[in-house]
Amino acid sequence: MNLFDGKKTHITVVLFILCTFAENLLGFDIPGFTPSDDWLQQVFVAIGASTGRDALQKLINAFRQKGT
C-alpha cells in the first residue's frame, strides 16, 4: 500500500487552493501559476472535484463489499 493511495486528488486540490490564495489574496507571484479572473469559482470547482472523487470512491467500495 502506497502512502498516497487515495490522497493524491486531495493534495492537488489543497496545493491549487493555497497557490490561488497566495496569488490573489497575499500578492505573491508563483512562477508557472496564473489563476484566472474568476479564481473563486475555480476554488469551488476544485473542492467539488475533491468531494466528488471521495464520494465516488466510497460508492465503489460499497459495491465491492456488497458483491463479495
pLDDT score, position 53: 83
- Contact of 10 with 57, CB cutoff 8 Å: no
pLDDT score, position 17: 92
User: What are the residues whose beta carbons fall under 8 Å from the beta carbon of 11, sequence distance 6 or more?
Assistant: 4
pLDDT score, position 68: 62
Task: Tell me the pLDDT tens digit for each residue of 7-56.
Answer: 788 888 899 999 999 998 899 999 998 888 888 898 999 889 888 888 88
Q: Is 0.85 topped by the overall pTM?
A: no
Query: What does the domain layout of the chain look like in residue ranges?
Result: 8-67
Distance CA 2, CA 43 (A): 27
pLDDT score, position 1: 60
pLDDT score, position 7: 79
The three cell numbers locating residue 50:
475533491
